[in-house]
Amino acid sequence: MGTEPSGPLRLLRETHEERVLTALRTRGALTRAQLVEHTNLSRATLSSIVQTLLGRQALTETGEEASTGRGRGRPVSLLTLNPAGGLALGLDLGHRRIQVTIANVAHEAVASGEVACAERTPWPRRLRLALDLVDDLTTRYEISLTALAGVGVGIVGPVDEATGASNDRVALVRDTLRARFGVPVFVDNNTRLAALAEAVWGAGAGVSSALYLRLSYGVGGGLVLGGRLFAGAGGAAGELGHISVDRDGPACPCGGRGCLERYVSLTTLQEQCADILDARDATARDLLVDAGTRVGEVLAAACNTVNPEVVVIGGELAETGDHLFDPLRAAFHRYTHSQVRRTARLTRAALGHDAAARGGIALVLTTTPQEASRP
Ligand SMILES: [Zn+2]
């Protein structure tokens, strides 16, 4: 007792500590039982590691949390990283809105704000608006960014690092923010970041695999596997809006033909019925049945490929509720493999305007410090 392990034993212990810290950094607050599950450590080892980390004030224990539902309502305590351990900054440079959210490493949002911007606002100007908003929030809430771990930024349009298709925009955003804050900066498409946020904080909180679909003026999506955003070879994984639903359909700017987006985007639907979102008249409801069916078919195919725990559907069109979801569920059930159907939960998105900014924060927290330090 009392002697610190040395040599291989000490290395092993550090690896175990790293596993616990990483689980809490990527998932937020967890019970000891959940930590056992996520780290694959034995109960005894975990208990010892947690004790050490608590002693070092790397962790914080929030006692007497309500029961997690299972068990007999015995209070369980939640462990998080020490909130004082650092901050992450999330930005969403959207079409019509700039959003900024700041959270600590314990996954608690400490400040959030937004400003409107015109649709064609140039990128340098968007960045200026975002930085002014950061200054405004840090001043108002007396937040020091000296312990900033990283910045995660959502931008509109594709972020394809491999082909360099959007590299000018990405480079401008990354270089400007890196110069301003001196920390790692991660940039991704804002719909994909909303997917990650839903899997970390929203409708899919706590799951390991989630498929996200956003039904708005465009149709996009994202895929979260093992608690992390899955990019794919070219950064385009989860582009559900560009799955073809009509081989003879119109050509799409993506290079495909008859893409789902062409049939179920709000832009297309409002051309046929201006009040589609009210779903009051028969025309609107018929259109929603057709849209829901098409979406359900595409989701069935995607889920047969990925077999996710949860499918999260967001965007304005999802706000039409059962008008969209009844036909969507019917088609989904008709075309999924029984094993896939049994395990997949279909649900509406839970987060609001700040989803992509929160996704930026999640991107910082789910990227390990070792990965972040790579050039
Ligand atoms: Zn397309």
CATH number, domain with residue 136: 3.30.420.40
Report yes or no: 363 and 152 within 8 Å, Cβ to Cβ.
yes
The 8-class DSSP code of residue 242 comes to G
The number of distinct structural domains making up the chain is: 3
Output the CA 287–ligand 1 centroid distance in Å.
21
Average pLDDT, the chain: 90
Region 293-306 average pLDDT = 97
Residue 12 has a pLDDT of: 85
Share of the chain above pLDDT 90, in %: 77
Q: Are residues 210 and 343 in the same domain?
A: yes
Note whether residue 119 is domain-resident: yes
> Does the pLDDT value for residue 13 go beyond 80?
yes
The pLDDT assigned to 177 comes to 97
Give a yes or no: residue 364 inside a domain.
Answer: no
Query: DSSP string of 138-172?
Result: HHHTT--GGGEEEEEEEESS---TTTTTTHHHHHH
> Per the domain annotation, does 248 fall within a domain?
yes
Strand partners, 90: 101, 152
The closest alpha carbon to 127, from 167, 160, 88, 94, belongs to 94
Predicted pLDDT at 33: 93
What separation in Å is there between the alpha carbon of 119 and the centre of ligand 1? Answer: 22
Give the pair of three-digit tokens for residue 161. 């690092």
- Is 71 a residue whose pLDDT tops 80? no
Domain assignment of residue 276, yes or no: yes
The alpha carbon of 243 and the centre of ligand 1 are apart by a number of angstroms equal to: 7
Handedness of CA 36, 38, 41, 47 (dihedral sign): negative
321 and 222 within one domain:
yes
Per-residue model confidence (pLDDT) at position 280 = 87
Yes or no: say if 81 and 106 are a contact pair by the CB < 8 Å rule: yes
Tell how far the Cα of 366 is from the centroid of ligand 1, in angstroms.
Answer: 30
Cα of 312 from ligand 1 centre, angstroms: 21
**Claim to verify: residue 66 and residue 91 sit in the same structural domain:** no
Q: How far is the CA of 215 from the centre of ligand 1 (A)?
A: 14
- Quote the ligand 1 centre to 245 CA distance (angstroms): 10
pLDDT at 271: 96
Residues 44 and 26 in one domain: yes
Per the domain annotation, does 365 fall within a domain?
Answer: no
The domain boundary, picked from 161, 193, 225, lies at 193
> How much of the chain, in percent, has pLDDT values that exceed 70?
91
Helices (H) and strands (E) in the chain, counts: 13, 12
User: Looking at 193, 220, 255, which one is the last position of a domain?
Assistant: 193
- CA 130, CA 114: separation in Å to the nearest integer? 9
- Scanning the structure block, which residue is given the tokens 């596997």? 225
Residue 246 lies in a domain: yes
End-to-end CA distance of the chain: 42
Rounded distance between C-alpha atoms, residue 303 and residue 209, angstroms:
11
pLDDT on residue 152: 97
Residue 222 shares a structural domain with residue 340: yes
d(CA 303, ligand 1 centre) in Å? 19
The alpha carbon of 359 and the centre of ligand 1 are apart by a number of angstroms equal to 24
- pLDDT confidence tier of residue 1, bands split at 50, 70 and 90: very low
Looking at the fold, whether 217 and 281 belong to one and the same domain comes out as: yes
CA of 260 from ligand 1 middle (Å) equals 7
Instruction: Please give the distance, rounded to the nearest whole angstrom, from the Cα atom of residue 370 to the centre of ligand 1.
Output: 36
Q: Does residue 260 register a pLDDT over 70? A: yes
Q: Is residue 212 part of a domain?
A: yes
Amino acid letter, 86: G
CA distance to 193, 231, 347, per residue, from 299 (Å): 19, 19, 12
CA of 188 to the centre of ligand 1 (A): 19
pLDDT at 316: 94
Alpha carbon distances (Å) from 264 to 71, 178, 247, 331: 44, 38, 16, 15
User: pLDDT (tens digit, 9 = 90+) per residue, 14-30?
Assistant: 889 999 999 999 888 99
Q: In this predicted structure, what is the pLDDT of residue 163?
A: 52
Q: Which CA distances in Å does 56 have to 53, 104, 107, 215, 243?
A: 5, 18, 20, 46, 50
Tell me what pLDDT residue 375 has: 45
Work out the burial of residue 10: count CB atoms within 10 Å of its CB; fewer than 13 is exposed, 13-18 middle, 19 or more buried.
exposed
Q: How far is the CA of 295 from the centre of ligand 1 (A)?
A: 15
- 9 confidence band (pLDDT: 50, 70, 90): confident
pLDDT band at 286 (very low <50, low <70, confident <90, very high): very high
Q: How many Å lie between the centroid of ligand 1 and the Cα of residue 30?
A: 40
- What is the whole-number distance in angstroms between the Cα of residue 242 and the centre of ligand 1? 4
The domain boundary residue, chosen from 48, 81, 114? 81
Pair 187, 208 in one domain: no
pLDDT band, residue 119 (cuts 50/70/90): confident
- Both 216 and 342 in a single domain? yes
Q: How far is the CA of 105 from the centre of ligand 1 (A)?
A: 37
Please give the distance, rounded to the nearest whole angstrom, from the Cα atom of residue 239 to the centre of ligand 1: 9
Q: CB-based contacts of 242: which residues, under 8 Å, 6+ apart?
A: 252, 254, 256, 259, 260, 261
The span from the CA of 352 to the CA of 221, in Å, is 16
How much distance in Å is there from the Cα of 76 to the middle of ligand 1? 48
How far does the centroid of ligand 1 lie from the alpha carbon of residue 256, in Å?
5
Q: How far is the CA of 79 from the centre of ligand 1 (A)?
A: 44
Residues 248 and 285 both lie in one domain: yes
Domain that holds residue 59: 7-81
CA of 311 to the centre of ligand 1 (A): 21
User: Based on the domain organization, do 12 and 110 belong to the same domain?
Assistant: no
Residue 236 alpha carbon to ligand 1 centre in Å: 12
Is the same domain home to 241 and 275?
yes
Examine the domain organization and report whether 327 and 255 are in the same domain: yes
Residue 159, pLDDT above cutoff 80:
no
202-220: per-residue pLDDT in tens?
A: 999 988 899 999 999 999 9
